Chain A
C-alpha cells in the first residue's frame, strides 16, 4: 500500500493507471493538485474573469474524473486536460459575450517603467526588477484579451502552455495546418496590438511634447 506522499510523487502515467485500475482517489487528488493552478491560469487567460476561470477548473476536473478511464495516453495528461478546458472555455464564452474592458494603456505602461520601458526579461534580478516584471506580465496578460478568442486560444495553448501543434489541433478539433495558420495569425495580431498601444502612444506623446 502506498502512502499519500508516495502517491504525490508518482508520474502521470502511474497516477492515471492507479485511478483507472484501482479507483484510487488519492491518485486523482494528486493529478488535481498538480494541474489545478495551470488549468486555472489557462481559464483566466481565456476568459479574463476569476469566477469563470474557477468554473472552468471545476468543469474540467469533474469531466476528467468521469472520463479518465477513456484516456489512452496518446497525448500528455496536461494537453488532455487543456482540451477539456478549451471546450469549457468555448462554452462559457458563448454564454458570456462581454469582453474585459481593461486594455493595455499607455498610462499603465508609464506606471510600469516610463516611456522607454523595455519588455520584461524572464529572469528579474533585483526586487525592483521583479516588481517591474510582474507589472509588465499583468499588462501582457491584458493584451492577450485584445485578440479574438479563436486566435487567442491557439496562442495560449502553444506559446504559454507549450503544447505541440498536433495537441493544440486535437484540443480544438481542427487540422494541424489550421492550428499553425491560426497561431501565426494570432502572434501577428498580438504584435500589431502591442505596436498600436505601445509604440503609437509613445509617438503620440512625443508629438504633443514638441
Chain B
C-alpha cells in the first residue's frame, strides 16, 4: 500500500496507465482494491481519474458521430470508377 501514499505525488503521476487498466477491468482484484483505496484517500487522483474517464468518454462518443468529416464526392466516384462499380 505504501506506493500509493497520497503524500508521495511522484507515485500519483505514475498511475495513469493503471487508471486505464482499471477502467478496462484488467487489474487483478488486489490491485483494483488497492487503487480504489488510494482514490478514496487522494483527492487529486480521484479528480484525475474522473477527468481521465471523461476524456475517454468523449473519444468514445466519436464512434456515434455521423456528422464528422466525410469522403468527397470526387473520391467516391473515383473509387467506384476504378472498381467498375458504376
The 8 Å CB contact of B79, one of A62, A119, A194, is A62
What does the 1/0 interface line of B50-68 toward A look like (CB < 8 Å)?
A: 0110111111111111111
* Separation of A168 and B36 alpha carbons in the complex (Å): 29
Q: Verify A58–B75 contact, CB threshold 8 A.
A: yes
Assess whether A100 is interfacial by the CB under 8 Å rule: no
Residues of chain B with a CB closer than 8 A to A192's CB: 16
Instruction: Tell me the interface secondary structure of chain A in the complex.
Output: helix
Q: Verify A185–B79 contact, CB threshold 8 A.
A: no
Q: Verify B82–A187 contact, CB threshold 8 A.
A: no
Instruction: Tell me the interface secondary structure of chain B in the complex.
Output: helix
The 8 Å CB contact of B51, one of A53, A161, A191, is A191
Known contacts A122-B57, A188-B17; A29/B64 CB under 8 A: no
Residue of B nearest to A65 (CB): B83
Give, as a whole number of angstroms, the nearest-CB distance from A37 to chain B. 5
> Count of A-B contacts with CB under 8 A?
103
The 8 Å CB contact of A57, one of B59, B63, B71, is B71
Give, as a whole number of angstroms, the nearest-CB distance from B64 to chain A. 7
Residues of chain A with a CB closer than 8 A to B21's CB: 184
Q: Verify B72–A190 contact, CB threshold 8 A.
A: no
The 8 Å CB contact of A41, one of B69, B76, B82, is B69
Q: Verify A183–B71 contact, CB threshold 8 A.
A: no
Give, as a whole number of angstroms, the nearest-CB distance from A192 to chain B. 7
Known contacts A36-B76, A159-B56, A184-B20; A122/B82 CB under 8 A: no
Q: Verify B63–A188 contact, CB threshold 8 A.
A: no
Assess whether B85 is interfacial by the CB under 8 Å rule: yes
Q: Verify A160–B62 contact, CB threshold 8 A.
A: yes
* CB neighbors of B among A1-52 (8 A): 25, 28-29, 32, 36-37, 40-41, 44, 50
* CB neighbors of B among A159-195 (8 A): 159-162, 180, 183-185, 187-188, 190-192, 194
The 8 Å CB contact of A58, one of B68, B70, B82, is B82
Chain B positions near chain A (C-beta within 8 angstroms): 16-17, 19-21, 24, 26, 51-52, 54-72, 75-76, 78-80, 82-85
Q: Could you list 20 further interchain pairs (A-B, Cβ under 8 angstroms) beyond the known A37-B68, A137-B58, A155-B59?
A: A36-B71, A36-B76, A36-B79, A37-B71, A41-B69, A50-B69, A54-B71, A58-B79, A61-B83, A65-B83, A119-B55, A120-B58, A122-B64, A136-B58, A159-B59, A183-B20, A187-B20, A188-B20, A190-B55, A191-B51
